[in-house]
Structure 1
Amino acid sequence: MYRLCSIMPLTTIKDGEYTATVYKMIKEGRYGDAIHILSKEHQKHTKSRAALSLLGYCYYHMQDFTNAAECYEQLTQLHPEVEDYKLYYAQSLYGACAFPEAMKATFLLDSTASHTKMIKLQAAIKYGEEDFSGAKTLVEQLPQDDPDYDVDLGCLLYKEGEYEEACKKFMSSMNVLGYQPDLTYNIALCYYSLKQYASALKYIAEIIERGIREHPELSIGMTTEGIDVRSVGNTLVLHETALIEAFNLKAAIEYQLKNYAAAQEALTDMPPRSEEELDPVTLHNQALMNIDAKPTEGFEKLAFLLQQNPFPPITFGNLLLLYCKYEYFDLAADVLAENAHLTYTFLTPYLYEFLDAMITCQTAPEEAFRKFDEIAGKLTEQLRKVTKQEARHNRDDESLKKHVQDYDEVLERYIPVLMAQAKIYWNRDNYSMVEKIFHKSLEFCNEHDTWKLNVAHVLFMQDNKYKEAIGFYEPIVKKHYDNILNVSAIVLANLCVSYIMTSQNEEAEELMRKIEKEEEQISYEEPDKKVFHLCIVNLVIGTLYCAKGNYDFGISRVIKSLEPYNKKLGTDTWFYAKRCFLSLLENIAKHMIMLRDPVVQECIQFLEHCELYGKDVPAIIEQPLEEDRMHIGKNTVTYESRLIKALFYEVTGWNE
């Protein structure tokens, strides 16, 4: 966030020392091409001051600070009398995050000639090392009318969590200096940290709009539109526009608001760069926001970042949480053990205790439950404390707003702990115990969507509590009734089943008509898009009838739900369908039921259709980090449908 002195301007290089071609390349921003020529020249004349100066300049503008530092180090040795080279050497080391070396290099500067620049650079180094008190001491040595004084204080206030005060400092600087991309980004970041997302997005939009208008060469938004464009590189121009930071912050806001498609779009809108040119924050966000679609790639990126210095502070916690989400508890334990030195720096006590309990689930569920209970106890105590403070300040709008925010933050930590506790008993099919756990949390969670949804699920699973389940499912569905496909398909399916089981068939049919209408609209607007909501609802209803022993009707419903096969056959829908068929075969083999010939014929015809349309449909989604992969030819709906068809012939004695 610090604004350092600008690197050596081109005007300090005497014209004529190099060909006009090299100067033209540099002025056009073609630093890579210039480096290619200059490197050859430097190899011929190892002590060429001009070649080294231009190389350092180009490397710096390419954000290749390590090579820039090497060039300026040689220049300081060849020409110790030139003060600028010492400054550029220190700046390059700072850019390369070699903070101790950069600080050592600042001591070589002539303090009388470069005092202010030296103080700014030393403060920036202390800031990079997270020695904020040391940075503040240095900043306070600057003249208060210095343009960077308020900016630097704002950065320090931000790190202290004083987001409103930091924002005021940045606003004050903007009033003096006019529009500055880095200041605008800092203001947006403050609003983001205050959870005032609309204000943050307003400033982000200004950065992006100016970037599009003033720098068309950066190809903003081209990748999202599907236009193949070459990398713009990590130039100083790109850095100065703050576009990468702005798009990353926009992605983070959309992700927080659960607008996942918009978050992914923000990442593809940013100026295109090749993967090896990506900064750590962009790499982290790509991994996190595409983890569902590309989990293996996401884990690889996060693990790679963990080996870099520096890496985004949240990388460590996110990698561990994702390992736990995918139930790679051994990998999570290994990463914790191998990076014990990062635990106290990058994990809060709450997150460490939560991860420890999650990892314990694998080997000792009872012990894990006890650990979760301890965490839950601390959090419920905090919730009660905040509630009392809220009651005392109910007339003070600002205090009330602060307490409500504090309450919400504690609640967001409490919900995952509660769900992890419940999952221990859910995995054992002990639904009554899960219900008791949820009931204990009623005091705090009764308005939380995640809590209500999971209460609905556990009531539904108990067979005799469909009416109570409807009471929880209905508000969730009605909340999104105008965009019903935004509701999870399984929620809609469970509500329909609950209606049927409580003899409310008209309500079930009305809901299904609503889903069908919206799917038809999407089919009209996007003919190639697959939508599975109505299909899954019918599959779950078919499964219900099969579970009750009415296979004639249940299997028929399952078969019809997958028509047309080219649009409805998918990994999830095949999972529901094959469960019903395998259950049917098991009961036939045990001589518990008899199927009429037309039904057997219908089943075989269905399996043949699945065989035809399922060549490119995975039968199961494998865990991303599995070492023993299924044979590619066996993990298809085609392969599994052939197997089930063969079983049908064998069990029923049906002749082709």
Structure 2
Amino acid sequence: MATIKDGEYTATIYKLIKDRKYVEAIHILNGQLQKHTKSRAALSLLGFCYFHIQDFSNAAECYEQLTQLHPEVEEYKLYYAQSLYKAGAYPEATKALFALDSPNLHIKMVKLQTCIKYCEEDYSAAKLLLEQLPPDDPDYMFNMGCLLYQDGKHEEACRSFLTALQVLGYLPALSYNIALSYYSLKNYPQALNYITEIIERGIREHPELSIGLKTEGIDVHSVGNTLVLHETALIEAFNLKAAIEYQLKNLKGAQEALTDMPPRSEEELDPVTLHNQALINIDMKPSEGFEKLAFLLQLPSFPRVTFGNLLLLYSKHEYFDLAADVLAENAHLTIKFLSPYVYEFLDALLTCQTAPEEAFRKFDEMSSRLTEQLRRLTKQLQEARLARDDDTQKKVLQEYDLLQDKYITVLMAQAKIYWNRENFQMVEKIFRKSVEFCNDDDTWKLNVAHVLFMQNKYKEAIGFYEPIVKKHYENVSFSGE
């Protein structure tokens, strides 16, 4: 009877693994294990193959059996803990690490413990563990960058990642983290530089991943969630590219970024991709988008912005009852996932449906606080200009733009209360009070124009409409009829 040690089987298995045909190798190895349940070679290769197709639960089962059959081999205990960690079984992974008793594996053990604590959002414990590593260890710089980023220190995180890049050379995950840091700093051109490098290397080095073929209309099969795909950081890079295009209001570019990524079946999609698909296509496929976002909320982990985006999109599409239900059913998520601004805004918006006067008062309080903050930033900007401090000017301007967006959002929601009552004089009054901070904003100008038009103040309305129309001349198409 043939065994895994037989030359024919060994050559076949190793060729399949070399060609990255892990699923076929798994099929043969499972057949061998049915005949020889304690075969060390079969279990070891099977664990390796499962790990590479990211079936970490089955990989963990293989390595668990190996730790029982060969307790003297400390590497199996490490592989078992790594597989549990990758499967999201963090307490079990920590327990498995305690079984390790090898000075040679101590550094790897500390690094894995650090990753576990980071994923458990125990950042202080992760930092303490990380400090056990030598400061010149490239992984120290990489992981310290992650902790700095998590702490909101994006510039410091970026510097840490760039230092690690100099030592380690090109790594897709490291380049992605640098791009993410630049994205958080609103430096989109630099972020796109690193994203482009990830994508171009992926196209050049992994033609089997069918990058961009779906966008071109070519029918392609799923490439699966292999470890190779994970190591290229392509999915993360395309999602970040989509986010940047979305922020730049280039919806077509955002959609293409999602279809350019290596193709996978619906059930293979990760939570971030599902979230971005829902968000970017919400106007064309609202029902599908809401379904995806609601589904994500049921998962043990989901993108942090999912909860807020679902509530805001329900409100945007005037599904206020659904928004209220989601908020009530997930009250425990509000503190963790909603900023005070978003929570207050949603509370006022939902109040509009039953008590518009009370809602107006809530919006007015928010508007007053934002006005104070905008004036403070205006003063800081003037001081930075006098001091010719370019870095401070840049930071303050970014903060001002974000705050102005929030202010205009509150202002429009407040004005809509009177717009719905056709009290256009009151709407105009609200807009006039906000001219100090909004007179350069096209959204504000357009709504001012609308309310003037509704009051038959056509000449004044044209004064607001005309600059906006001229700005968008290139988008106008003419008919020959």
1:187 lines up with 2:188 in the alignment: no
Runs of 4+ in 1 over 6 A off after TM superposition: none
1:452 lines up with 2:445 in the alignment: yes
Deviations 1:325-372 (A, max 9, x none): 111111111111211121111111111111111122222222221221
Aligned partners of 1:477 and 1:484 also within 8 Å: no
Secondary structure, aligned partner of 2:104? coil
Secondary structure, aligned partner of 2:37? coil
- Give the deviation of 1:44 after TM superposition: 4.1
- Give the deviation of 1:71 after TM superposition: 2.4
Q: Which residue of 1 aligns with 2:464?
A: 472
Unpaired runs of 5+ residues, structure 1, are 1-12, 486-514, 521-562, 564-656
1:117 lines up with 2:120 in the alignment: no
- Greater displacement, 66-75 / 443-452: 66-75
Deviations 1:485-520 (A, max 9, x none): 3xxxxxxxxxxxxxxxxxxxxxxxxxxxxx42xx56
Aligned partners of 1:65 and 1:93 also within 8 Å: yes
- Give the deviation of 1:384 after TM superposition: 1.4
Whole-angstrom CA distance in 1 between matches of 2:451 and 2:68:
73
1:229-248 equivalent positions in 2, closer than 5 A: 229-248=220-239
1:348-363 equivalent positions in 2, closer than 5 A: 348-363=339-354
Deviations 1:358-413 (A, max 9, x none): 12222222222122112112111111111222222222222222211111111111
Name which structure has the greater RCO, CA cutoff 8 Å, separation 6+. 2
- Give the deviation of 1:33 after TM superposition: 2.4
Whole-angstrom CA distance in 2 between matches of 1:309 and 1:334:
20
Aligned partners of 2:29 and 2:46 also within 8 Å: yes
Whole-angstrom CA distance in 2 between matches of 1:430 and 1:41:
79
- Give the deviation of 1:19 after TM superposition: 4.6
Q: Which residue of 2 aligns with 1:100?
A: 91
- Give the deviation of 1:111 after TM superposition: 4.7
Give the superposed CA RMSD. Answer: 1.8
Whole-angstrom CA distance in 1 between matches of 2:12 and 2:287:
45
- Give the deviation of 1:459 after TM superposition: 1.2
Aligned partners of 1:184 and 1:204 also within 8 Å: yes
Structure 1 residues 419 and 112, CA, compared in 2 at 3 Å: closer, same or farther? same
Whole-angstrom CA distance in 2 between matches of 1:436 and 1:263:
38
Aligned partners of 2:348 and 2:359 also within 8 Å: yes
Whole-angstrom CA distance in 2 between matches of 1:162 and 1:173:
17
TM-score normalised by structure 1 residue count: 0.70
Aligned partners of 2:215 and 2:256 also within 8 Å: yes
1:41-52 equivalent positions in 2, closer than 5 A: 41-52=32-43
1:59-208 equivalent positions in 2, closer than 5 A: 59-208=50-199
Structure 1 residues 458 and 14, CA, compared in 2 at 3 Å: closer, same or farther? farther
Q: Which residue of 2 aligns with 1:35?
A: 26
Q: Which residue of 1 aligns with 2:404?
A: 411
- Give the deviation of 1:117 after TM superposition: 0.3
Match of 1:398 among 375, 391, 394: 391
Whole-angstrom CA distance in 2 between matches of 1:315 and 1:149:
31
Structure 1 residues 428 and 14, CA, compared in 2 at 3 Å: closer, same or farther? farther
Q: Which residue of 2 aligns with 1:271?
A: 262
1:338 lines up with 2:338 in the alignment: no
- Give the deviation of 1:72 after TM superposition: 2.0
Match of 1:439 among 432, 443, 448: 432
Unpaired runs of 5+ residues, structure 2, are none
Residue identity in the other structure for 1:329 = F
Deviations 1:24-43 (A, max 9, x none): 22222222222233334334
Whole-angstrom CA distance in 1 between matches of 2:6 and 2:377:
68
Whole-angstrom CA distance in 2 between matches of 1:341 and 1:77:
41
Residue identity in the other structure for 2:151 = E
Aligned partners of 1:111 and 1:118 also within 8 Å: no
Secondary structure, aligned partner of 1:308? coil
- Greater displacement, 152-161 / 259-268: 152-161
1:329 lines up with 2:329 in the alignment: no
Secondary structure, aligned partner of 1:393? helix
Q: Which residue of 2 aligns with 1:641?
A: none
TM-score normalised by structure 2 residue count: 0.95
Report how many aligned residue pairs link the two structures: 476
1:283-432 equivalent positions in 2, closer than 5 A: 283-394=274-385, 395=387, 396-432=389-425
Whole-angstrom CA distance in 1 between matches of 2:302 and 2:408:
28
- Give the deviation of 1:467 after TM superposition: 0.7
Aligned partners of 2:123 and 2:147 also within 8 Å: yes
Whole-angstrom CA distance in 1 between matches of 2:431 and 2:335:
32
- Give the deviation of 1:309 after TM superposition: 2.0
- Greater displacement, 34-43 / 167-176: 34-43
Residue identity in the other structure for 1:130 = E
- Give the deviation of 1:240 after TM superposition: 0.9
Name the % identity.
75
Residue identity in the other structure for 1:364 = A
Aligned partners of 2:67 and 2:73 also within 8 Å: yes
Whole-angstrom CA distance in 2 between matches of 1:59 and 1:366:
60
Residue identity in the other structure for 1:288 = L
- Give the deviation of 1:268 after TM superposition: 0.4
Residue identity in the other structure for 1:380 = T
